[in-house]
Amino acid sequence: MRLCAVILAGGRGERFWPLSRRSRPKQLLPLLGDRPMLTLTIDRLDGLIAREDVWIFTARDLAPQVLEAAPGVPAAQVIGEPVGKNTAPALALAAWWLKDLGKDAVMVVLPSDHRVEPAQRFREDLERAAGVALERGAIVTFGIPPTRPETGYGYIEAGGAIAPGSPFHAVSAFREKPDLATAARYAADGKHLWNAGIFVFPPDVLLEEMRAHCPDIAALLPGMPLRPGEGSSAALERFYGAAPAISIDYAVMERSKRALVARADFAWDDMGSWASLATEDSVGPDGNVVRGTAILHDCKDVIAFSDGGLVAGVGVENLVIVRTRGVTLVCRRDRAQEVRAIVERLKERKDLDGYL
């Protein structure tokens, strides 16, 4: 079995503003330690997938930074998309390039900016999923057993297990982000799992399902060179120019009869906002989380982040405090998603354009 990773690193998140900017999105930020999320994503595969078998799709202008954050990954395998077309075109193209790798090749599709731990258990889950995907010609996605009624995630409803006691299940349905009442029901019924955006499949299986369910994209593939790299820039332009913008969930997963969902054994978080920095490991005795230099005097449940300079807190609670080179953000912790409102306000203010 030969596992290849296809890491999706095209995001342009605004939810970690002011640290994230257009030119430095979440996957390039060191939100969980000293290294960028993307680097952690690659490191996490060590021992399971060699760096020469790692492929990364990102936006063209981000490609140099992505390459820098991906030591050991061949430059030709960092694909700079001329225009973002969601996930389905990128994965079809990756499968096209990986289809001749051998009968035992399996693609592992991973987001570049999520928290996943512990790494060992994650690798075991991936390896097992690769075995099932190969054996059954399946597309395996991962579902995380919910720990709270989260309204920010999509859900997968699991059907019957493929064997008694197996973590692999048929997929009954993919569910959009629910309202709170629905999320509470999902979290309690034991059947609904968080959609982690991780997929495991042999390249040929995806190509077949693409041809069956998304012929628009499949039809573009025979025009592409058999290897990425030099000389293919015009082909890439054509492909991305013509491909519809559609997610792999819509294009394939919701229609395919070959989809399976694996109940994950690892902990997962999509790192959707500054509030995500509060993980089990990072929270101190007063509920505070400190990244960078901070002095918190009589503070509680504060997330303090500095990428330079000191953050000082006096008598405050339930806040996110972020200090970057040019901006200080202070946000109620349960409203960390609303950082986007500031970004929107900045877009209206020509004089403050530099802070975007």
Task: Give the residue with the Cβ less far from its own copies, 31 or 319.
Answer: 319
The residue type of 121 is: R
State the nearest-atom distance from the C-beta of 312 to its own copies, in Å: 5
Q: Quick one: CA dihedral 243, 244, 249, 250, positive or negative?
A: negative
Residue 205 sits at the vertex; the CA angle it makes with 204 and 211, to the nearest 5 degrees, is 90
For residues 299 and 286, the answer to whether their CB atoms sit within 8 Å is: yes
Site for its own copies contains 103 (CB under 8 A): no
What string marks each residue from 288 to 327 as x (binds its own copies by CB under 8 A) or -?
-----x-x-xx-------x--xxxxxxxx--x-x-x-xxx
Site for its own copies contains 31 (CB under 8 A): no
Tell me how far apart the alpha carbons of residues 319 and 334 are, in angstroms, rounded to a whole number: 8
Site for its own copies contains 346 (CB under 8 A): yes
The residue type of 177 is: K
Which helix (H) or strand (E) element contains residue 259? Answer: strand 259-263
Among 43, 68, 330, 347, binds its own copies (CB under 8 A): 330
Give the residue among 294, 342, 297, 339 at the shortest CA–CA distance from 317.
Answer: 297
State the nearest-atom distance from the C-beta of 20 to its own copies, in Å: 13
Task: Give the residue with the Cβ less far from its own copies, 237 or 338.
Answer: 338
Task: Give the residue with the Cβ less far from its own copies, 66 or 311.
Answer: 311
Kindly state the number of chain residues that form the binding site for its own copies, as judged by CB under 8 A. Answer: 36
Tell me how far apart the alpha carbons of residues 22 and 11 are, in angstroms, rounded to a whole number: 9
Inter-CA distances, 12 with 38, 92, 273, 282, Å: 14, 22, 13, 26
Question: How many angstroms separate the most distant Cα atoms in the chain?
Answer: 64
Q: Segment 232-291, which members bind its own copies (CB under 8 A)? A: none
Tell me how far apart the alpha carbons of residues 84 and 90 are, in angstroms, rounded to a whole number: 9
State the nearest-atom distance from the C-beta of 284 to its own copies, in Å: 16
Site for its own copies contains 335 (CB under 8 A): yes
Q: Segment 156-175, which members bind its own copies (CB under 8 A)? A: none
Task: Give the residue with the Cβ less far from its own copies, 188 or 341.
Answer: 341
DSSP letter at 344 equals: H
Task: Give the residue with the Cβ less far from its own copies, 180 or 310.
Answer: 310
By CB under 8 A, name the binding residues for its own copies.
18, 293, 295, 297-298, 306, 309-316, 319, 321, 323, 325-332, 335-336, 338-339, 341-342, 345-346, 349, 352, 355
